Amino acid sequence: LEGGFRGHIRVDHVSTTRIDHMSHVFQAGDQIQALVISKGPGKNGAFSLATKPLEAKPGDMLANPAAVYERATDMAARWVYREAKNRAPVGSVVWVTVSGVQPFGVFGVLSTFP
């Protein structure tokens, strides 16, 4: 993990549209944007990430991920407001490099940290 922090996106946090397997959406090495929704305990706790809150319309993450990333900051601000959580880094949009893909979720390295 050179220069990054660990993060994880659960399959149910990717899109409002059902996903059969994470490899249908992500591949190792992909650069994606994701919303930090929580941080694990401890100094090196992994981040829980999501792309679903960044969708303007249900299924956008599958149909048009580029549009999701384009609107990521605005959608994240709406999520923070709805969730009434404005503590950094939760609610921050970060770049993530997918490091592994499993049926239940993907693992990644946060390459930017707010």
Residue-by-residue DSSP string for 66-97: HHHHHTHHHHHHHHHHHHT---TTTT-EEEEE
| Chain centre to alpha carbon of residue 84 | 19
Angle 52-56-60 from CA coordinates, rounded to 5° = 65
- pTM for the predicted model, two decimal places: 0.70
Tens-binned pLDDT, residue by residue, of the chain (114 aa): 455 778 899 999 999 999 988 999 999 999 999 999 888 776 677 889 999 999 999 999 999 999 999 999 899 888 876 664 444 456 777 788 899 999 888 888 776 544
